[in-house]
Amino acid sequence: MRNPRISGLYAITPDLSNTDDLLNKTQQALDGGARLVQYRNKSADKMLLKEQAKSLLQLCKSYEIPLIINDHIDLAMAIDADGVHVGLGDIPVSAARERFGPGKIVGASCYNNLHLALQAEESGSDYVAFGAFFPSETKTDTVPVSTNLVDYAKQKVTVPIVGIGGIRLINAAAVIDSGCDAIAVCNDLFGTGNIMARALQYTQLFAEK
């Protein structure tokens, strides 16, 4: 069954050490219509991770938007976040589901592998993410994905599909048209001068579907 909360613009936060700056930028994305927020910070220590995650959770709650924690299941559980996103090197989907409980969102990176997506769904994932569709500035060790994979995957998996990797306003429509329920964006959203305006542009792409 498709989770209605997994759709539209999925904002992935950039590495920022200044929590106020992070909250300000995320609020702009939410004001522009972001439907999910994933907290991802690869450079922060444990104390900063918890501080930023707790602050983001309160912000997202005020917008009634889910906050997903990248990788850190312990952090997600400690602050009672709405969900967690895991990759191949992280805790398995089945373990994340067991630890986190049935009411939380568990998402899984499936790269360009349909078998992983089917496994993740069977293990209790609420969505599967394919990517990278395009060269990514956030992650350099990505595998390429064709939009044809999404079209095929839609016939096999019933959970929402998230497109990720190098997505920009100029190429986002192709990813959405391929059948992705949501698109995850970091640099082309948070790296712009007017984050709310850019988020609105992405949101409009889904409204036109």
Binding residues: 38-42, 70-71, 90, 109, 136-139, 166
* Binding site listing for Mg(2+): 71, 90
Cα 147 to chain centroid distance, Å, stands at 18
Q: Single out the catalytic residue among 109, 125, 178, 198.
A: 109
Crossing angle for the helix pair 19-31 and 195-207, nearest 10 degrees?
Answer: 30
Q: Single out the catalytic residue among 5, 25, 35, 40.
A: 40
- DSSP readout, 130-159? E--SS--SS-SS-----HHHHHHHTTT--S
Please say if 97 is a catalytic residue.
no
Asked if 33 contacts 202 with a C-beta cutoff of 8 angstroms, the reply is yes
Please say if 168 is a catalytic residue.
no
In angstroms, rounded to a whole number, what is the distance separating the alpha carbons of residues 138 and 45?
Answer: 19
Task: Name the E strands within the chain.
Answer: 8-12, 36-39, 67-70, 83-86, 105-111, 127-130, 161-163, 182-185
Peptide bond into 132 cis (omega under 30): yes
In angstroms, rounded to a whole number, what is the distance separating the alpha carbons of residues 14 and 138?
Answer: 8
State which amino acid sits at residue 77.
M
Q: Single out the catalytic residue among 50, 99, 139, 168.
A: 139
Please say if 139 is a catalytic residue.
yes
In angstroms, rounded to a whole number, what is the distance separating the alpha carbons of residues 195 and 85?
Answer: 23
Kindly give, in sequence order, each residue whose CB lies less than 8 Å from that of residue 45, ignoring residues fewer than 6 positions away. Answer: none
Q: Which residues are catalytic?
A: 40, 109, 139
